[in-house]
Structure 1
Amino acid sequence: MCAKVEYISKTQHYLKVKKPLLERQRRARMNKCLDALKTLVAELQSDDAILRMDKAEMLETTIVYMRSQAVCKLKTAWTSPPMDSFCNGYMNAVNEVSRVMAATPGMSVELGKSVMSHLGVEFNRLLQHKTQQQHQDTLSTKSHFPRPVSPASSGYHSDCDESSMATPVLSTVWRPW
């Protein structure tokens, strides 16, 4: 008595054997990644309560956390670095002016003192402007992030639109020309 051998097509084999196996592997990978994400967010937030949440709650909490981090980074990017780099550049320029004046033969000491004291006063004004801007940013509850206003801005309307002005541009800006 001959045994009847059944042949199944590749498609039937895939549907019966391979697809369920691949789906289990995909779910296992997703669960492993979700567990890693859960642990990471719990560490970053210093909150172990997230470890007891189900997957959906954990993902929602993670999204809220990531958005808050993105908001903090955007706010910092819009306010702090441009002014810091401007102040650093300003100090480099002041140092260069001082070096050139010291190396120039016949330079008037009074003129050198006058120029350097003026540059120092302007630098102090920039620092005050920077601290005022940071203070206003911390008090601000607006959801949009204003563009930083360069101290070298001319104050003309074409430099930036009125709705994006973070602070008014001072009208008495010293210009070397």
Structure 2
Amino acid sequence: MAPQTETAFVSKTQHYLKVKKPLLERQRRARMNKCLDTLKTLVAEFQGDDAILRLDKAEMLEAALVFMRKQLIKQQAPVSPVPMDSFKNGYMNAVSEISRVMACTPAMSVDVGKTVMTHLGIEFQRMLQADQPQQQQQQQQSKLESSPISRPVSPASSGYHSDAEASDAAASPQPSSNPMWRPW
């Protein structure tokens, strides 16, 4: 009768190994599969490619890693200086338009025109000076050579300046002793 009592009594360790451990392992695998399916769906949505839905688990994980690395590289890519250049070009176009409007306004005072255009020229120079440290920092980070900052000259259609005067005006935005205001 001793053998019957031994089979009826099961220790906690034996119960865990026979019943609990396989149950816990099935639950763990079910959670992993659910997470893998969710990841597969998310990557397919972000990539816009449903082909990933047909991949097995290992291939899907590899595709997810490749996708995440690409996203990381996109985030770390240095911002190009194009937005600031676009802003500078837009600023110069606005200065040109202001110059044209003031030149066409009959009651416009020469002193007011000089003051406005001098202020706009000084602000443009400040913008260029503020942009230089940022460009130097980007150059150090990317270790690429960049071209020097070019100063666009306002192509004012008012007739108050010539091409020869425009190059002098870019160097010094100070008002001249001439009673006419200049659009730079």
Q: Normalization by structure 2: what TM-score? A: 0.51
Residue 115 of structure 1 corresponds to: 119
- Runs of 5+ unmatched residues, structure 1: 92-107, 127-149
2:79 match:
79
What SS does structure 2 have at the residue aligned with 1:19? helix
Return the alpha-carbon distance in structure 1 between the equivalents of residues 46 and 135 of structure 2.
42
The aligned residue for residue 62 of structure 2 is 60
1:4 — aligned with what?
5
Distance 1:116 1:11 in 2: 84
Distance 1:71 1:39, change over 3 A: same
**C-alpha contact 2:40 2:60 (8 A) present in aligned 1:** yes
Q: CA deviation at 1:42?
A: 1.2
What residue in structure 2 maps to residue 164 of structure 1?
143
Distance 1:37 1:155, change over 3 A: closer
| Residue 155 of structure 2 corresponds to residue 153 of structure 1 | no
Change in CA separation of 1:160 and 1:49 when aligned onto 2, cut-off 3 Å: closer
Instruction: Give 3-state SS (helix, strand or coil) of 2:121's partner.
Output: helix
**1:74-130 C-alpha deviation (Å, 9 max, x unpaired):** 11xx3159x76xx7xxx9xxxxxxxxxxxxxxxx7434531223424765xx6xxxx
Within 1, Cα distance between the matches of 2:41 and 2:141? 45
Q: Give the structure 2 partner of residue 25 of structure 1.
A: 27
Does the Cα contact within 8 Å between 2:44 and 2:52 map onto a contact in 1? yes
Gaps of 5+ in 2: 92-110, 152-170, 172-184
Pair 1:166–1:14, CA change in 2 (3 A): farther
SS of 1:79's partner is coil
Please give the TM-score of this superposition, normalised by the length of structure 1.
0.53
Partner Cα distance (2:56, 2:126) in 1: 57
Corresponding residue of 1:146: none
RMSD (Å) for aligned C-alpha atoms = 4.3
User: Are the aligned partners of 1:42 and 1:48 in contact in 2 as well (CA < 8 Å)?
Assistant: yes
